[in-house]
Structure 1
Amino acid sequence: MSKHTRRDHLTVADSHEEITDALPILWTSREVAEALKVTPSTLCRWRATGKGPRVYWLSPDSPRYRRSDVLAWLEEVAA
């Protein structure tokens, strides 16, 4: 008799939940700019010059930021 684990009985909903729980929450440029109290164009300029927080590109027009990367960047630039 084979021993079954919970994983053997995962439903599509369970799989989706596991995946989304494992993914980081990604912020848009607007959300990061609002959180940092700067304009989106300032954030764009920082991105272009490599001075801003680490960015992930979902597509050429979709930059996204992890909260932990934004917080780490703030610690780096703190005086």
Structure 2
Amino acid sequence: MSKISRRDHLAVAGSANDPNDVLPILWTSREVAEALKVTPSTLCRWRATGKGPRVYWLSPDSPRYRRSDVLAWLEEVAA
């Protein structure tokens, strides 16, 4: 059985063939900061001021981002 990498979609209980049973990939702040070539503190400041990409909170200390939200935000802020 192959190990599912963190970047792969993770199937939830149920049929692995059903697209409704697949969770989106959620990036950590560090992953988003690396992708955007900014520091994690810059991303944190954007979050605090409502200027960054849409964020999902798994817990008070666990912000996560969907790739599609990060890309949509980049399109919005593009000059």
TM-score, with length taken from structure 2: 0.76
Q: How many residues align?
A: 67
- For the aligned residue pairs, the C-alpha RMSD in angstroms reads 2.2
- Identity among equivalent positions (%) equals 88
Cα distance, 1:58 vs structure 2: 0.1
3-state SS of 2:14 partner = helix
What TM-score does the superposition give when structure 1 sets the normalisation length?
0.76
Quote the Cα distance in structure 1 between the aligned partners of 2:38 and 2:52.
Answer: 12
Structure with the bigger RCO (C-alpha within 8 Å, sep 6+) is: 1
**Richer in helix (by share):** 1
1:56 alignment counterpart: 56
The structure with the greater share of residues assigned to strand is: 2
Shift of 1:22: 1.5
| Cα shift readout 1:13-43 (whole Å, capped 9, x = no counterpart) | 9727458x52100000000000000000000
Which stretches of structure 1, 4 residues or more, deviate above 4 A after TM superposition?
none
Q: Which protein shows a greater Rg?
A: 1
> Distance between the aligned counterparts of 1:14 and 1:55, measured in 2?
25
Gaps of 5+ in 1: 1-12
Cα distance in 1, alignment partners of residues 43 and 70 from structure 2: 12
Query: In the aligned structure 2, how far is the partner of 1:36 from the partner of 1:62?
Result: 19
Aligned position for 2:26: 26
* Matching of residue 15 in structure 1 with residue 19 in structure 2: no
Unpaired runs of at least 5, structure 2: 1-11
